[in-house]
Structure 1
């Protein structure tokens, strides 16, 4: 194996005016090395330090984060990163499950779905989606296997919700010092995105995760999340969200109200472990963060005949396809409306580009020349990120930060992401320094000119 093929070159950087992604490795703590033969316009030699890397990345991200429209998409990598900080291990996933009827046919359909999406093998979601489609067909035919498959799905969703809650439990019950580190890092991470000037559009947060980690981090950060749910005790999902926002009236100042700081729009694209289909409505139940299981919170008044089969976890097994499509169509419409507009920046973290519905929206977004995509990921084990980068065909509109040296969540928040509330304070300081620096130069030049005149 040649040095260029060494797998330690697992960090990929592309920002600013880089024409191609650049691979590099960690030579020693705080020191990095590019592959031999790599030509870098902004660096002489093959080795560089964290300081040089930061000076290359941080100003670029700070500028992009102040785009007119900013959106953030979190994938499962965010949950794994925070869980690892708290519990020293990645969050447990949900593998393929055993079914008592038509298992071979379901698994075959799941594999075909995965292949069509560019994935090497089917996962739990593919299997569940295929089972839901088969269940609907069996119900139409009046086949007796429908009851058996429905029971299987109920058991599977119960287990799946338990695995999601186990991830939350692992974070909530971790050692106190590690738990504080994990949540402090998460708060800093979220506020790096949410700290925007009042003249900019609100941050839009999207996630494919079913857990409530972002909600927990926002609560600790004092970040208000605006979503499609209305109500306090048992919020109900509404299609007519309109453009609700939060404002305040500055004391002693007349005029229009100003934006309240610390507010973001929030959308869970694949549903949530605390969303249930109750009657004709989608409701959010009061499920504590890290609860042991969801069953105990379903048997309440107004939730008649609601069980794990009614959990709105995509793809869910709601009673009919219309109800199944209903919330997710609205949520994906929010994603497209937020990112597919001029002067928009979309930042992804921990998203592996395995969802074709989302990839299609991103592809459409990049057809607008003033948009930009920033991809942050700890790794790319299946190669889907780089494959999507090539397929999008818009390299000048895409920035890449892939690898542990760039997108480990602590490294990212401490070195590369803009500091929370950096805008007004930093800009004021910058203007003040410019004024003072400019004044001192003018005074010096005036003095020199006067001295020359006296000498003459």
Structure 2
């Protein structure tokens, strides 16, 4: 018998969640993590960015109100990092140190800073903005994101109900947020995310080779892997991962439990930001270890990768996925919309029977949301085996009772 191995890749679309502002209105508000386009518009439109916006336009000829910057914070940050790299290499060590102190202490007005200092200031602002949005602290405290956390809980609960004899599920995600961890904690699900320790948790990729088991026979060494157990790989890092020295720790990456903006903004966060150095960053630890695990899992036989909320805009991830097609038994299920020549449509145009694409808007189904949205995948496409098993057990019990009553 051939056992299929399922892998999931969760992208930013999974944590983006809109609800109606009022039940009687059609206007919607974001209570989750915005995707890149609305995030860019909000950042550019902030009052604090007005002076910087004018300087970018007049001095660097970067107009954030037009394409390609207007709807793409990634392109904007990429451009700034390229300029920063240029200025950095023509500065003396003393100038570099001065720039760091001025930015960290916020000693000078923006207009009084050098071009390099101004660029670095904007980059820091953009990074802190991304951090603030990914923590989503205000919506979490107010409970406005309850529907989103319930959706993640349902996703993991349904995955948990699969046949216990199948291999453990591997969940890969590019998201920095903590919705997967919060959902599994609330459900009491055990998961491995690459960190070991108690009070101080430090990264150790060796733990991905471990499993959680219970002893079946006290008199003999018989063990059984427990059912409620997942492997979670955050391949772009996380809001609560920081760079920190640890005694006798090979990997200087620590996971902190208190994910609050006021604490994390002062730390060296372990997150691959959207920059031209994203691919290079992924070559260093912990990213290299996480991507190695991703590649190792994908290159096994009889694998099925299901992508959710992922737009195929990360070349370093796509390269690993495309390499898996060298294995004849590999299958790719893309839950996303092919349109306007995007990467998903290009996959569709390959006409490869091993690629299945689910997505688009069907006006006849009466839903406000396309079929490829994470909420519809969880509610309508992901089977609820727990309910099926319960119905079968009830049917069996009732039939047995009928026999007894005869």
Provide the TM-score with structure 1 as the length reference. 0.62
> Is contact 2:332-2:354 (8 Å) kept?
no
Q: Which moved more, 1:247-256 or 1:271-280?
A: 247-256
Asked whether 1:419 is paired with 2:368, we answer no
Structure 2 unmatched runs, 5+: 23-27, 96-114, 246-250, 362-368, 401-406
Determine the C-alpha separation between the residues in 1 that align with 2:291 and 2:332.
Answer: 18
SS, match of residue 216 in structure 2? coil
Q: CA 1:86/1:123 → structure 2, altered by over 3 Å: closer, same or farther?
A: same
Aligned to 2:89: 140
Equivalent residue runs for 1:20-419 within 5 Å: 67-81=3-17, 84=19, 89-90=29-30, 91=32, 92=34, 93-95=38-40, 97=44, 123-142=72-91, 145-166=115-136, 168-174=137-143, 179=146, 181-241=147-207, 243-250=209-216, 254=220, 256-279=222-245, 281-288=252-259, 291=260, 294-297=261-264, 307=266, 310-315=268-273, 325-377=284-336, 379=337, 384=342, 386-390=344-348, 392-403=350-361, 404=369, 406-419=371-384
Q: Residue 258 of structure 1: SS of its match in structure 2?
A: strand
RMSD: 4.0
* Higher deviation after alignment, 408-417 or 93-102: 93-102
Higher relative contact order (CA 8 A, sep 6+): 1
Classify the secondary structure of the residue corresponding to 2:313: coil
Unaligned runs of 5+ in 1: 1-65, 115-119, 299-306, 437-456
Computing the radius of gyration from Cα coordinates, the structure with the larger value is 1
Aligned mates of 1:268, 1:386 — CA distance in 2: 22
The alignment's TM-score, normalised by the length of structure 2, stands at: 0.69
Structure 1: how far apart are the matches of 2:271 and 2:85? 17
- The 3-state SS of whatever aligns with 1:326 is coil
CA displacement, residues 241-284 of structure 1 (integer Å, 9 cap, x when unaligned):
45011011125785531111111111112221112223572222
5 Å matches for 1:433-448?
A: none
Instruction: Decide whether aligned partners of structure 1 residues 128 and 233 sit closer, same or farther in structure 2, where only a CA change above 3 A counts.
Output: farther
The DSSP-based 3-state class of the residue aligned with 1:272 is strand
| Count of matched residue positions in the alignment of Structure 1 and Structure 2 | 340
In the TM superposition, residue 347 of structure 1 has moved relative to its aligned partner by 1.1
CA distance in structure 1 between the aligned counterparts of 2:316 and 2:7, rounded to whole angstroms: 17
Asked if 2 retains the 8 angstrom alpha-carbon contact of 1:285 and 1:297, the reply is no
